[in-house]
Amino acid sequence: MEGFDEDWFVGVSVSKGALFLPLQKLLTNYLLTVGFVLFLTTIAVFKLSKYIVSPVERLVAATSDFATGKAVTPLNEKTYQEIDRLNQTFTAMTKKLAQRERGHKKSTLIIETTDNGVIAVNKKTMKITTFNRTCEKLFHLPRYEVVNRTVNEVMQKSDNFKQFVLSSRVLEFVGEEKNKKFELQCSFHQNIYHFFISISSLPSIESEEIHDEMLIVINDLTEKRQMERELVRSEKLKVVGQMAAGLAHEIRNPLAIIRGFIQLFGKEEEVKKNHYDLIIKEIDRVNYFITDLLNLSNPKSSEELKKTKINSLLEDMLILQKSQLKMKGIDIEKEFEELPTVLIDPGKLQQVFINIIQNAVEAIEEDGVVTIKTKHLALENKIAISILDTGCGMNTTTIEKLGTPFYSTKQTGTGLGLATSFRIIEEMNGTIVVSSEEGRGSKFVITLSY
Ligand SMILES: Nc1ncnc2c1ncn2[C@@H]1O[C@H](COP(=O)(O)OP(=O)(O)OP(=O)(O)O)[C@@H](O)[C@H]1O
Ligand SMILES: [Mg+2]
């Protein structure tokens, strides 16, 4: 055999384990070193990635919190340069946006809490973009039924809104950029409203040059006008009072003398008695008129205050009016609620009811309905009495003049009925609110505290 062709051989015997031991040691050391290095590298990579990724994750979380409207705490901690800059930019941006948000909320709050009605309309689409709380109350329209709808759509939905748009002629101002200011009168559900309207063009958010919205601001002057009317009325009453006092003195004394003599003549000359009676009746009429005048301007203080059951008072009065109502074919409808007693002079209140019902009867030409309702306004400690008729109604001039002494549209009217009634209710610290629509009827609501 090749290589073994000599006669002598040296044999070396080494165990397999001893032979591979150094090799195994080497391999173990190698594996340990590699493992250690791998372990160290993994830790380093983990630490490094945490260092890089964590701030980014925090920023992402803060961004999504901000986007969903949650509160964001400023990202102040120090990281590496790029993220630091990103954090600073983010914090500055959130601050600015929060500031802008606060400004926006404040403007919205102002629009929502102002007593003025605010409506904004897009001139191109004619869609309503703003309709504040005052408008909701004024037009009895919830905002969700108005915003993003066109003016025409809302007009079909609400009679009040339609009335307002038509009488203010706001649609004619769509093409104009000049501001318009004017006063307006509208009748919503038989109630007359006085408005001061201001119409202006609103610049668009994108550019000051483009005026794509129309802004309508409605200032409700109804209460102010009512107060002014009240003032004028009480001024007039004062004058009437002075005049009445003079008249009473000058007319009553001679009347009393004439009356006395005629009574005397009547006794003596039986034939002419009828004529004398007539003269006395007329003199008495003049006297009653003067009493009315005096009561109107200077009512006697109520000495007859009694705990009064208003429903019974109304029932009693209706018994007295029954025949008159029947003759004209007028139906009476009653809706009485249980009421607490009210401390008033019942005679005077009855006079008010009679005056108002008399007017209702006179307003109905033939066949109609007079509805009398009483209501307990427990929350306000008040009671309300409404008298509604289906008569001729009143125009705005008449409504405005109601309660003015001597104002009458009737040929034989003295125009003192309502003036006296207003005065009596005023004396009782109550209120009378009148609403009416020509051709449809009128409503008188008396409110009294108990
Ligand atoms: N229910 C009503 N319907 C229609 N018009 C009314 C009604 N109540 C009052 N008016 C109007 O108000 C005016 C004033 O009423 P008021 O009662 O003060 O006087 P008058 O009825 O004319 O006269 P008087 O009551 O002294 O006989 C009336 O002339 C009438 O035009
Ligand atoms: Mg009258």
CATH of the domain at 180: 3.30.450.20
Determine whether the shortest distance from the Cβ of 398 to ligand 1 is under 6 A. Answer: yes
Which pLDDT band holds residue 1 (cuts at 50, 70, 90)? Answer: low
Residue located nearest, by CA, to atom 27 of ligand 1: 413
Determine whether the shortest distance from the Cβ of 85 to ligand 1 is under 6 A. Answer: no
Residue located nearest, by CA, to atom 23 of ligand 1: 413
Ion ligand 2, residue ranges at CB < 5 A: 359, 417
What does the pLDDT read at residue 252? 75
For the record, the structure tokens of 176 come out as: 């104009």
In this predicted model, what pLDDT tens digit does every residue of 380-413 receive, in sequence order? 999 999 999 999 999 988 998 888 888 899 987 8
Average pLDDT score, the chain:
85
| Cα 415 to middle of ligand 1, angstroms | 7
- H/E element, 119: strand 117-122
Closest listed ligand to the CA of 395: 1
Q: Which atom of ligand 1 is nearest to the CA of 416?
A: 26
50, part of any domain: yes
Q: End of a domain among 262, 297, 332?
A: 297
Beta strands in 135-210 (DSSP E): 180-188, 191-203
Half-sphere exposure of 285 (CA within 13 A, CB side): 7
Rg over alpha carbons for the chain, rounded to the nearest Å, is 46
Residue located nearest, by CA, to atom 7 of ligand 1: 359
**Do 251 and 148 fall within a single domain?**
no
Q: Which atom of ligand 1 is nearest to the CA of 413?
A: 23
What does the pLDDT read at residue 30? 94
**Do 157 and 282 fall within a single domain?**
no
8, part of any domain: no
CB neighbours of 174 closer than 8 A, spacing ≥ 6? 121, 123, 126, 214
14, part of any domain: no
Residue located nearest, by CA, to atom 8 of ligand 1: 359
Determine whether the shortest distance from the Cβ of 418 to ligand 1 is under 6 A. Answer: yes
**Do 179 and 257 fall within a single domain?**
no
Determine whether the shortest distance from the Cβ of 415 to ligand 1 is under 6 A. Answer: yes
235, part of any domain: yes
CB neighbours of 128 closer than 8 A, spacing ≥ 6? 119, 120, 121, 122, 146, 147, 148, 149, 150, 151, 154
**Structural domains in the chain (count):** 4
In this predicted model, what pLDDT tens digit does every residue of 187-200 receive, in sequence order? 887 678 889 999 98
What does the pLDDT read at residue 63? 84
CB 163 within 8 A of CB 138: no
In this predicted model, what pLDDT tens digit does every residue of 34-55 receive, in sequence order? 999 999 999 999 988 888 888 8
**Do 328 and 428 fall within a single domain?**
yes
**Do 310 and 410 fall within a single domain?**
yes
**Do 85 and 32 fall within a single domain?**
yes
- Looking at residue 333, which CATH number applies to its domain? 3.30.565.10
**Do 63 and 143 fall within a single domain?**
no
**pLDDT at position 311 over 90:** yes
| Closest C-alpha among 431, 419, 399 to residue 234 | 419
**Do 123 and 211 fall within a single domain?**
yes
Closest listed ligand to the CA of 292: 1
CB 385 within 8 A of CB 336: no
What single string gives the DSSP state of each residue in 248-266?
Answer: HHHHHHHHHHHHHHHHHHH
- Looking at residue 288, which CATH number applies to its domain? 1.10.287
**pLDDT at position 179 over 90:** no
Q: DSSP label at 172?
A: G
225, part of any domain: no
**pLDDT at position 302 over 60:** no
Determine whether the shortest distance from the Cβ of 407 to ligand 1 is under 6 A. Answer: yes
Q: How far is 188 from 138, CA to CA, in rounded Å?
A: 9
How many Å is the maximal CA-CA distance in the chain?
Answer: 200
5, part of any domain: no
Q: Which atom of ligand 1 is nearest to the CA of 391?
A: 3
347, part of any domain: yes
What does the pLDDT read at residue 213? 87
What does the pLDDT read at residue 271? 58
Q: End of a domain among 55, 80, 102?
A: 102
**Do 292 and 349 fall within a single domain?**
no
**Do 316 and 435 fall within a single domain?**
yes
Q: How far is 315 from 304, CA to CA, in rounded Å?
A: 20
pLDDT (average), residues 174-184 = 84
134, part of any domain: yes
325, 359, 362, 395: residue to mutate for ligand 1 pocket, most atoms within 8 A of CB: 359
Residue range(s) defining the domain that contains residue 142: 114-220
Closest listed ligand to the CA of 410: 1
**Do 435 and 370 fall within a single domain?**
yes
Determine whether the shortest distance from the Cβ of 360 to ligand 1 is under 6 A. Answer: yes
Q: End of a domain among 263, 297, 331?
A: 297
**Do 313 and 287 fall within a single domain?**
no
| Cα 433 to middle of ligand 2, angstroms | 16
Expressed in angstroms, the distance from the first to the final Cα of the chain is 141
